[in-house]
C-alpha cells in the first residue's frame, strides 16, 4: 500500500543525517537529512520538492492502514520477519500473550526471524539471556540491539584505533565496544561523579575521545553531560552518535518511561549538534541485517509497535510493515488525522498471525 505522508527526520532528531558507511570520523559534521536517504526507493514518487535536502515535505495520509485480515497472503509473501522487542515480544520483563506459539509457527513455516531493538542497555549476549529467561529460543545471531549497532557503525567507518569513545549509556554499549576492540571510557563508572562548581573551577576531558555515544542511561548526571559536551565541542572531528531517539521506553509494564531521546536531547541542546542515529528508523541496522543474511528487503516484513521508529524503519528499508497495538501506538494514534505515517497493515498483537489458514 502506497500512502503519501509527511516525511521528516526521526521525530526527536530533526535534521539528523543517517549513518553512512563511507562517513569518516575526522570529516564528520552534522547536516540535514536528504529525502532520498529517508524514504525507500519505492516511495520516492510520492514526494514533491525532493531536490531540497532540508525541506520537510507535507502531505496528508489519505487512507488509514487496513486491519490485517488476509494473514495467509502476508505470511506467504515474505521470507523474513523482523520484530521489535519492547511492546511486541514483551513489556518490561513480561512476555506478551501468544508470542512463543507465534514464533514457533513461523519457524515451522521456514521463516527467518530477526529481533531488532533500540534499547541499548544490554548487549546481544545479554538479550539472548533475556529471551531464554522468558522461555524463547532465540540465538545471539538473530538479535540486533542498538548497542551493537553503535559498535558496528564505528567499525564500518574504520574508527581510528588510537581514538577513544566516551559513553553516556549503560553496560550494553560497553560490552559491544569491547567485543569490537574499541577503547572507551565513561558509562556506569561515571554515574557517581560530581563536578566542582566553585569559582574558577575547570573540568578537564580526554582529548583522545573521537566519538561520544549516547544511549539510554538511568544514571545520567551533570558530569556526563558536561564531559560529553566538552568532547564534542572541543575535540576536532569528534563524532556524536545516538543509539536511538525514542521518546519513551518500557522499563516496566505499568507505564511508559522517558526514553533515550531525552538523553540525546540534552547533548543536542548543549552542543547544537545533530547526532548520527544508528538505531531505528535509521537504515543502518536494516542494511547490516540484509547484508549479513543475504535478505532481499522486499521479502522482509517489519513488525513493530511504534510508527516513528519501527514502521518508518521498515518503510525506509523498502520492507512490508505491520503495526501491532500491543505497545506504544494505540488505534486512536494510528487513525488520528495528524498522523502521516501509515503501515501496510495493523493488528492487535503478533499472536493474531496464528489465525492463518493455509500452510506454505
* Catalytic-role residue among 86, 217, 310, 352: 86
Angstrom distance (rounded) from CA 300 to CA 357: 21
> Helix, strand, or coil here: 263?
helix
Q: Is 217 annotated as a binding-site member?
A: no
Q: Work out the number of other CB atoms within 10 angstroms of the CB of residue 298.
A: 14
Angstrom distance (rounded) from CA 173 to CA 288: 18
Q: Is residue 324 within 8 Å of 350, Cβ to Cβ?
A: yes
Q: Is 336 annotated as a binding-site member?
A: no
Strand partners, 167: 186, 213
Q: Is residue 39 within 8 Å of 323, Cβ to Cβ?
A: no
Q: Is 108 annotated as a binding-site member?
A: no
Q: Which three cell numbers stand for residue 241?
A: 552518535
Q: Which residue has the cell 526514553?
A: 259
Selection from 82, 108, 120 nearest residue 292 by Cα: 82
Could you tell me which residues come within 8 angstroms of residue 157 by beta carbon, excluding any fewer than 6 positions away? 21, 22, 23, 24, 25
Selection from 326, 322, 328, 327 nearest residue 349 by Cα: 326
HEC sequence for 265-334 = HHHHHHHCCCCEECCCCCCHHHHHHHHHHCCCHHHEEEEECCHHHHHHHHHHCCCEEEEECCCCCCHHHH
Q: Work out the number of other CB atoms within 10 angstroms of the CB of residue 319.
A: 28
Q: Which three cell numbers stand for residue 136?
A: 524463547
Instruction: Please spell the DSSP secondary structure of 116-143, one letter per residue.
Output: EE---SS-HHHHHHHHHHTT----GGGE
* Catalytic-role residue among 72, 84, 190, 336: 84
Q: Is 158 annotated as a binding-site member?
A: no
In the annotation, is 73 catalytic?
no
Annotated binding-site residues read 84, 86, 280, 305
Annotated binding-site residues for Mg(2+) read 84, 86, 305
Annotated binding-site residues for substrate read 280
Q: Which residues are catalytic?
A: 84, 86
Amino acid at each position: 500500500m502506497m500512502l503519501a505522508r509527511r516525511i521528516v527526520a526521526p521525530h526527536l532528531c530533526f535534521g539528523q543525517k543517517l549513518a553512512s558507511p563511507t562517513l569518516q570520523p575526522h570529516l564528520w559534521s552534522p547536516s540535514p537529512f536528504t529525502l532520498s536517504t529517508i524514504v525507500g526507493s519505492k516511495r520516492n514518487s510520492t514526494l514533491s520538492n525532493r531536490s531540497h535536502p532540508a525541506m520537510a515535505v507535507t502531505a496528508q495520509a489519505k487512507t488509514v492502514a487496513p486491519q490485517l485480515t488476509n494473514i495467509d497472503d502476508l505470511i506467504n509473501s515474505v521470507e523474513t520477519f523482523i520484530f521489535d522487542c519492547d511492546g511486541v515480544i514483551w513489556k518490561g520483563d513480561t512476555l506478551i500473550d501468544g508470542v512463543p506459539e507465534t514464533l514457533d509457527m513461523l519457524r515451522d513455516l521456514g521463516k527467518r526471524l530477526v529481533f531488532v531493538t533500540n534499547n541499548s542497555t544490554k548487549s546481544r549476549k545479554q538479550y539472548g539471556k533475556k529471551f531464554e529467561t522468558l522461555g524463547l529460543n532465540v540465538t545471539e545471531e538473530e538479535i540486533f540491539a542498538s548497542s551493537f549497532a553503535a559498535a558496528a557503525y564505528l567499525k564500518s567507518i574504520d574508527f581510528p584505533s588510537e581514538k577513544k569513545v566516551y559513553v553516556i549509556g549503560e553496560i550494553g554499549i560497553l560490552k559491544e565496544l569491547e567485543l569490537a576492540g574499541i577503547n572507551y571510557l565513561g558509562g556506569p563508572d561515571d554515574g557517581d561523579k560530581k563536578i566542582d562548581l566553585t569559582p574558577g573551577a575547570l573540568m578537564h576531558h580526554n582529548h583522545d575521545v573521537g566519538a561520544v555515544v549516547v544511549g539510554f542511561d538511568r544514571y545520567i548526571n551533570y558530569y556526563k553531560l558536561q564531559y560529553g559536551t566538552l568532547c564534542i565541542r572541543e575535540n576536532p572531528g569528534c563524532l556524536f552518535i545516538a543509539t536511538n531517539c525514542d521518546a519513551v521506553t518500557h522499563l516496566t509494564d505499568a507505564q511508559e518511561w522517558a526514553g533515550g531521546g531525552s538523553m540525546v536531547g540534552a547533548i543536542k541542546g548543549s552542543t547544537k549538534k545533530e547526532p548520527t542515529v544508528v538505531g531505528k528508523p535509521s537504515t543502518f541496522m536494516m542494511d547490516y541485517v540484509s547484508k549479513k543474511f543475504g535478505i532481499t528487503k522486499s521479502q522482509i516484513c517489519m513488525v513493530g509497535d511504534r510508527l516513528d521508529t519501527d514502521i518508518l524503519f521498515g518503510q525506509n528499508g523498502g520492507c512490508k510493515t505491520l503495526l501491532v497495538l500491543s505497545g506504544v501506538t494505540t488505534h486512536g494514534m494510528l487513525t488520528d488525522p495528524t498522523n502521516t505515517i501509515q503501515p501496510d497493515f495493523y493488528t492487535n498483537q503478533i499472536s493474531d498471525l496464528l489465525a492463518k489458514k493455509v500452510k506454505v
